[in-house]
Amino acid sequence: MAENYQFETRCIHGDGGFVEGHPYGAVSVPIFQTATFAHPGIGKSTGYDYSRESNPTRYELESVMSSLEGADDSIACSTGMAAIGICLELFGEGDHILCTEDLYGGTVRMFESIGEKRGLKFSYVDTSDIDLVRKNIRKETKALYIETPSNPTMRITDFAEMRKLADEFGLLILADNTFLSPYFQKPLQLGADIVVHSGTKFLGGHNDVLAGFVCVKGKELSEKLRYTYKTVGCSLSPFDSFLVLRGIKTLSVRLERQQENAKKIALWLKNRPEVTEVYYPGLEDHPGYEVNRKQATGAGSMLSFRVDTVERTRKILESVKLISYAESLGGVESLITYPMLQTHGDVPVEIREHLGITEDFLRMSVGIENAEDLIKDLEQAFQ
């Protein structure tokens, strides 16, 4: 029975039965590179009419994502930002959304430009502080927007406590699950109503495709989001759907290796005299360690660290050889990022500094290379 399949099997087969429907028994999903589908007759349909609305390749990807996240529906979008964008259409003028203060900078940019232009209101608090969240809920608050671990300072938010507040005040919970993916964390099972992903990252896993997902609990939310999706036209292409589906097949084995490498690097960084702070939820001295262990099965492979001087920060970025100085994350290749200039460059300086995203702060996405080779590369860059 499909419900007995373990996560690793569902990464490859979903809930089962896809191959039976593939032309010629193709084991891999065919790429249905077509914009339109012929009707068998008047008022009749094959189930697919136009690829902006639905496509067989994309449908298989969406079905696998629903299986992995435990969602009633999953919607594959052209980018992670497109996924967030259609979620905003659930809200109207004057509605307030209370957000994790340490969010991906692109999310903040969308909220404060496109969202506010539409009359939505946003405020940001440390959602790891339950009392602070409660104090900032207003009568016009409609949703909590949570990212845990947060980007880039790796703060952890307790889903169970957020669900209690959501039930008390009648709020939706939207959660960005990009950093841990459904392999390590399943927010819908923990109390979220909607989960968003940048599928570009761990789900795709190879730094070669842009994608986004909205995973939903409940028919009503699904219908509203599907209507916006069809209308706006931010659907993922058939070829990109194929690439992400191919990436997901190795999600579990990639993430295990990436997490193993990240833990080794985090411990190495903690012992370096040049490093003043390490942010990784898999370390026992991380303030969110116990909460993350309660609600997730792993700490993932994203980590950040602070060094003793700005000069050293810049030297590391310009000296790494095996590790690439680049934006993005989650691929098999290790990347190092300078958040103050890259991911959070549009966030006002005073807010960045309040969050600790300063000139001596670096973020690393650990890949699947040999951990000792990565450490040697960092070591020579530190010299």
Does residue 323 share a domain with residue 306? Answer: yes
DSSP H helices in 72-186 = 80-88, 105-110, 116-117, 130-135, 159-169, 181-184
Identify whether residues 193 and 331 lie together within a single domain.
no
d(CA 54, CA 16): 20
Verify that 243 and 288 share a domain, yes or no: no
Catalytic option among 10, 58, 186, 201: 201
List phi, psi (to 5°) of 155.
-75, 150
From 216, 248, 280, the end of a domain falls on: 248
Q: Is 59 a catalytic residue?
A: no
Measured CA to CA, the distance from residue 68 to residue 72 in angstroms comes to 11
Q: How many CA atoms within 13 Å lie on the side-chain side of 327? A: 11
The number of domains in the chain is 2
Clarify whether residues 258 and 244 are in a common domain: no
297 and 228 share a domain? no
For position 79, which CATH number holds? 3.40.640.10
Q: Give residue 221's pLDDT.
A: 97
Do 31 and 110 belong together in one domain?
Answer: yes
What whole-number distance in Å separates Cα of residue 187 and Cα of residue 83?
16
Residues 302 and 356 in one domain: yes
Q: Are residues 65 and 99 in the same domain?
A: yes
- Cis check: omega of the bond before 56, within 30 degrees of 0: no
Cβ(109)–Cβ(228) under 8 Å? Answer: no
pTM of the model: 0.95
- Our answer to whether residue 10 is catalytic in this structure is no
Task: Note whether 99 and 228 are same-domain residues.
Answer: yes
Inter-residue contact 294 to 329 (CB < 8 Å): no
Question: Can you point out the beta strands (E) in 281-379?
Answer: 302-307, 324-325, 335-337, 361-365
Q: Tokens in use for 139? A: 């009568």
Catalytic residue among 52, 270, 272, 312: 52
pLDDT per position in the chain (383 positions), as tens?
346 899 999 999 999 888 888 999 999 999 999 999 999 999 999 999 999 999 999 999 999 999 999 999 999 999 999 999 999 999 999 999 999 999 998 999 999 999 999 999 999 999 999 999 999 999 999 999 999 999 999 999 999 999 999 999 999 999 999 999 999 999 999 999 999 999 999 999 999 999 999 999 999 999 999 999 999 999 999 999 999 999 999 999 999 999 999 999 999 999 999 999 999 999 999 999 999 999 999 999 999 999 999 999 999 999 999 999 999 999 999 999 999 887 777 778 888 888 888 999 999 999 999 999 999 999 999 99
Judgement on whether residues 217 and 258 belong to the same structural domain of the protein:
no
Strands 141-147 and 275-279: unpaired
Is position 176 annotated as part of the catalytic site?
yes
Q: Select from 177, 225, 174, 216 the least CA-distant residue to 197.
A: 177
Name the domain boundary from 227, 248, 269. Answer: 248
Domain that holds residue 207: 2-248
Structure tokens at 142: 């409609």
Identified catalytic residue from 176, 240, 360, 377:
176
Do residues 355 and 153 make contact, with C-beta atoms less than 8 angstroms apart? yes
> Looking at 221, 248, 275, which one is the last position of a domain?
248
**pLDDT at site 313:** 95
Active-site annotation holder among 102, 104, 254, 363: 104
Round to whole Å and give the CA distance between 342 and 126.
22
Decide if 52 is catalytic: yes
Q: Quickly count: other Cβ atoms within 10 Å of residue 329's Cβ.
A: 27
Supply 171's token pair.
Answer: 């709020």
The pLDDT score that the predictor gives to residue 1 is 37
For the chain, the distance separating the N- and C-terminal CA atoms, rounded to the nearest angstrom, is 56
E strands in the chain: 73-77, 96-100, 121-125, 141-147, 172-176, 194-198, 212-216, 275-279, 302-307, 324-325, 335-337, 361-365
